[in-house]
Structure 1
Amino acid sequence: MSFDAGAGWDGTCSPAGAPIPSDAPASVTYEPPTLGACTPSPAPEPLPVIATFGKACGGYIGQPPEGYDLCIQTRSDGSCWDDYPEKREFTEELIDNRSCSACECGPPAGGECSADVFLYGDAACSEEIAASEGIGQAETRCADVSSPSPLVAMRAELTKAEPGSCTPSVSTVTGTVEKGKMHIVCCAPRRSPTNQTLTYTCPRT
């Protein structure tokens, strides 16, 4: 007969589905405790897209406001004008279709645990019939059992609980970042209030 408290049992008082009659068992085999599986972390998010965003204001003539540049369309062949030598490329939008694969954990290893197991003749775990102490991971223990009461419930207490570790999987990124319609403009170098050319590096991110 098998008395199984089910996966994830934490040792609290667990009644049997049906009591085992007192004249049924002559001995009880105590199965060893096992290390529980590791719980993987939620799937991470892909690293953010690093990009330079631009906002165009049409029809402006003169010195642009702070933080803006004076730009015009390219020549028909796509080249820039001498007075507007800095080429900038922008897309209308970025569509991020990337995702990360789920994280997984390998089997647990390196831990150590042992438990005391108690058998009871009532569902409240107050009438003890038998007990087996210090059952280790690599030990299956058999003990004689004799009681006028049926076997109704069991309980366990961990006496040693040293957690093991699991080897994690490596999450990988799938999918791509799609670019929308491309816009190319030619921009004039930035100038100081006195109209002197400033040293300026166009962002290329």
Structure 2
Amino acid sequence: MAPEEPGEPGPGGSFALLARACTGTAFAPCGDPGMTCTPAPPTGEAAPPEGFLTCIQHEGERDCPATYPDRHVFYASVEDTRGCAPCGCSEPTGGTCSILASAFSDASCSQFVVGVVVSSEAPFCGAISPGMALGSKSASVVSLEPGTCEPTGGEPTGGVALLGAATFCCRPAPLPEPVPA
């Protein structure tokens, strides 16, 4: 059987199938000298699922021998470093604005001298009559069209690393004996 491809874990780092392997000295010789027997599960515990009745387990990702051809690889944990690159915006383009710039001869902006509309779309240079004293100035927005920018960043980063691999090599379930008719 071909090796199983691990599925990518979901947001919580979990997989759909869980395996638990026990180690110890609970093995005994069987009637067949080429076999090793284990006791039945304790009362109240479920028996192994179909396809996992007779298995051997190896640490790491390993190939299985021909006598135990059904290969299953399980992982103890995952290291999830998935994320996104920081989002940003390019320099804005296409924005325009215009203001009304005014000059006054007194300090309280009440004695109007001159006013002119200044736009970001065209340069302006103005003059005030020589000898005219200026005491204050003001500016007010006439129009404002913000520019636009192209979004940047947001690309996926990182990945998922599967850690603590264990390979289970199992014998296929025996076919049921034919029932005599």
Name the TM-score, length of structure 2 as normaliser: 0.50
Name the TM-score, length of structure 1 as normaliser: 0.46
Between Structure 1 and Structure 2, whose CA radius of gyration is higher? Answer: 2
